[in-house]
Amino acid sequence: MQWNSLLIGVFSFVGYLLAYHTYGKFLARKIFGIDPSRPVPSHIFNDDHDYVPSSKEVVFGHHFTSIAGLGPILGPAIGIIWGWVPALLWVVLGSIFMGAVHDFGALVVSLRHEGKSIGEIASKLVSPRVKYLFLSIIFFELWIVIAIFALIIAILFQMYPQAVFPIWMEVPIALWLGYMVHRKGKNIVGLSIVALVLLYITIFMGAYLLPPLKMPKVGFLTGVEVWMLILFAYCYIASTLPVWKLLQPRDFINSHELIVLLFLLFLGLVFSHPPIVAPAFNLHPQGAPPIWPFLFVVIACGAISGFHSLVSSGVSSKQLDSESHAQFVGYGGMLLEGALAVLVLTAVMGGIGMGIKGGIYGTEAWKTFYSSWQAAKGLNSKISAFVTGAVNMLSVLHIPPQLSATIFGVFLVSFAATTLDSATRIQRYVISELSSGTKLQFLTRRHPATLVAVFTALALAFAQKGGKGALILWPLFGTVNQLLAGLALLIITVYLFRKKVPPYISFIPFLFMVVMTGWALILNLKNFFKSAWHLFIIGLLIFFLEIWMIAESIPAIRREGKEKS
């Protein structure tokens, strides 16, 4: 049977809609007991800076673009190397029953604990020691994220120089939108449409009217390194500004940008409906690690990601205007990310087969990108595979390749930038929470904490020539991120035990994630022992901290279980 990518996309989207209106509502009503009358942190602690009551549409836009980043593109674009069937099943089922539960649960738990991060909440639900263990792991993850995403954006600027002008013009557009809505009380719907039109005008200018803005070498710094320094300065400013000034409006524009792109991709899928050229199963690709357990680590944000719990509990919970919006933002946000991951899969499993440079089509075109693990795993390869397939699908809509390439360049950088400054903002919260109760009280303040967040990441990035220092630790990121997801599910489980609610909806995903990613970490440690002692030692320490956290949590679960009985 010749499967068609359109059929796969339609079935997946219908599945997400059904899940939202059935399982999502079950979680909201029966498990978490969402109560619209319950006071929320944005009202209790409203400071017009971090705690800002906002409409569910605005919070959704900020939340979604923060959790998405490049994750649902990069992960599925390489995970498909094991075959489109296992990749698709994990993206769809994983996001419905694990990722969305994880994000929704972290958001609700934070809403009911003063908008604190999941690490701080661990102190109250488990023990004070767990707080510092959890926050240390979170700090390590965000340290890598900030450094690596600054590098990724700088590389994307060099790959898509025509996208530089629209990206930076989005900043004043977002500042104008935030001012008009928050200070002048104007209607955000109409103004956001104006802002989106302005963004697409700049995209047209970048594609056709302006020369590509490629950063030259400055002194001993390469173009990539210069961009990275500019980006570190930007994320410091963006992360210390009131959330309504830049982050919320820019991410609201980005969410609209994504909706337009999703619509175009879906139209392209409908009219091109390319046959699937990727293999259904490819369990032993050349040079690749075993599908079990690495599929669940590699795809990451396309199904579940620990970083999402940091956004839910560190940022979004401080802005939600009502508990009744939690399902839409937390559960719905993850399902939309899953839908994006499905479209990415259709682009790389079908769109690529429509042809690549050199007149190569079908299965041979797919093999050009996925002949081996080495060919598929690089950043350029993953982005090129997605963009190639997506541009092919859009070509049937008669969108010129030059314009579509610029659109995708802006899209990729926009979402990576959202991850960068959201991660910096969350890292500031983490540093403040780590410093509370210590002699370093000055680090609980906004600017000192943000300086530490930025300069530690900058030091990591420039620990290696070309700003590639984070690549030294990058091999650990995937398993650390997914183990963090497991630990967040553990905290949600303890919370449900305490509320006398059946915790299986989070406990089963917790067991699955801890087993799969712990297994992957052990396999990585065996390789690190042979080739990279620094990764072996750090990875072993992280594994020890994870086991310690789980051990600390078991008495809390038993205690709550006895009280329930």
Q: What is the pLDDT of residue 545?
A: 84
Lowest mean pLDDT among 12-16, 19-23, 439-443: 439-443
Percent of the chain at pLDDT above 70? 98
Phi, psi of 444 (to 5 degrees): -80, -10
Model's pTM, two decimal places? 0.93
pLDDT at 3: 64
DSSP 8-state class, residue 320? B
Residue 564, pLDDT > 70, answer no
pLDDT at 561: 59
Every domain of the chain and the residues it spans: 5-564
> What is the average pLDDT across 267-272?
90
pLDDT at 1: 43
Sorting pLDDT into bands at 50, 70 and 90, what band is 69? confident
| Confidence label for 290 from pLDDT (cuts 50, 70 and 90) | very high
In degrees rounded to 5, what are phi and psi of residue 289? Answer: -70, 170
Q: Alpha helices of 436-503 — where are they, by DSSP H?
A: 446-461, 474-498
Dmax of the chain from CA atoms? 71
Give the CB-side neighbour count of residue 19, counting CA atoms within 13 A. Answer: 24
- The overall average pLDDT reported for the chain is 91
CATH of the domain spanning 5-564: 1.20.1740.10
Q: Average pLDDT for residues 180-195, to the nearest whole number?
A: 89
Burial (CB < 10 A; 0-12, 13-18, 19+), residue 363, is: middle
What value does the CA radius of gyration of the chain take, rounded to a whole number of Å? Answer: 22
Select from 240, 66, 256 the least CA-distant residue to 177. Answer: 256
Lowest average pLDDT, out of 72-81, 429-438, 548-557, goes to 548-557
Please, which residues have CB within 8 angstroms of residue 136's CB and are 6 or more apart in sequence? 434, 545
- Give the residue from 263, 257, 137 showing the smallest Cα distance to 192: 257
Nearest-CA neighbor of 207 among 355, 387, 408? Answer: 408
Q: Residue-wise over 436-460: b if at least 16 C-beta within 10 A, else e? A: eeeeeeebbeeebbbebbbebbbeb
Helix (H, G, I), strand (E, B) or coil at 321: coil
Terminal CA-to-CA distance of the chain, rounded, Å?
A: 54
pLDDT at residue 78 is higher than 80:
yes
* pLDDT at 278 (0 to 100): 93
Tokens of 19: 């899940």
Question: For residue range 460-471, what is the model confidence (pLDDT) as tens digits?
Answer: 999 999 999 998
Q: Which residue has the tokens 């450094």?
A: 147
Please, is 377 exposed, middle or buried when counting C-beta atoms within 10 Å of its C-beta (0-12, 13-18, 19+)?
middle
What is the rounded CA–CA span in Å between residue 315 and residue 329? 12
| Confidence band for 70, pLDDT divided at 50, 70 and 90 | confident
- Give me the pLDDT at residue 2, please: 52
In this prediction, residue 316 carries a pLDDT of 96
Looking at residue 128, its pLDDT comes to: 83
What pLDDT shows up at residue 134?
Answer: 86
Q: Is 137 exposed, middle or buried (0-12, 13-18, 19+ CB in 10 A)?
A: buried
252/181 Cα distance (integer angstroms):
12
pLDDT higher for 21 or 7? 21
Contact 383, 412 (CB under 8 A): yes
Q: What is the mean pLDDT of residues 505-529?
A: 94
Question: Which of 27-31, 187-191, 477-481 reaches the highest mean pLDDT?
Answer: 27-31
pLDDT value, residue 401: 82
What's the pLDDT tens digit per position in 298-308?
A: 999 899 999 99
